């Protein structure tokens, strides 16, 4: 995933914005990343990725974020599954 790609597709928050937020604000918990443009408060798809970014700030060997296309495809499947569960 490139820094300019959107991490939170609901609120159009880029990966770069979240990373800069972590670097500058130094959140103590991953849930505080929601203060960055509302990231993670929409459909919930990006929450695991926000956790990864937070973990990356805490340690250097955390799992990487997937590329942009794979990320968007996985989110589409997540939304479909979520709608099916709600019915």
| Main-chain phi, psi angles of 68, to 5 degrees | -60, -45
Q: Which residue is it, tokens 């103590």? A: 28
Give me the pLDDT at residue 41, please: 95
How does pLDDT run across 1-25, given as a tens digit for each residue?
888 999 999 999 999 999 999 989 9
Q: How far apart are CA 39 and CA 34, in angstroms?
A: 5
Average pLDDT, the chain: 87
High-pLDDT (> 90) share of the chain, %: 46
- pLDDT value at 39 more than 70: yes
User: Is the torsion defined by CA of 52, 56, 62, 64 positive or negative?
Assistant: positive
How does pLDDT run across 40-77, given as a tens digit for each residue?
999 999 999 999 999 888 775 455 667 778 888 888 88
């Amino acid at each position: 995933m490139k820094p300019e790609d959107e991490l939170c597709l609901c609120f159009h928050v880029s990966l770069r914005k979240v990373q800069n937020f972590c670097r500058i604000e130094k959140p103590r918990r991953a849930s505080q990343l929601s203060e960055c443009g509302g990231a993670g408060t929409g459909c919930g798809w990006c929450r695991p990725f926000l956790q990864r970014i937070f973990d990356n700030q805490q340690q250097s060997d955390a799992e990487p974020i997937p590329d942009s296309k794979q990320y968007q495809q996985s989110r589409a499947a997540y939304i479909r599954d979520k709608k099916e569960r709600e019915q």
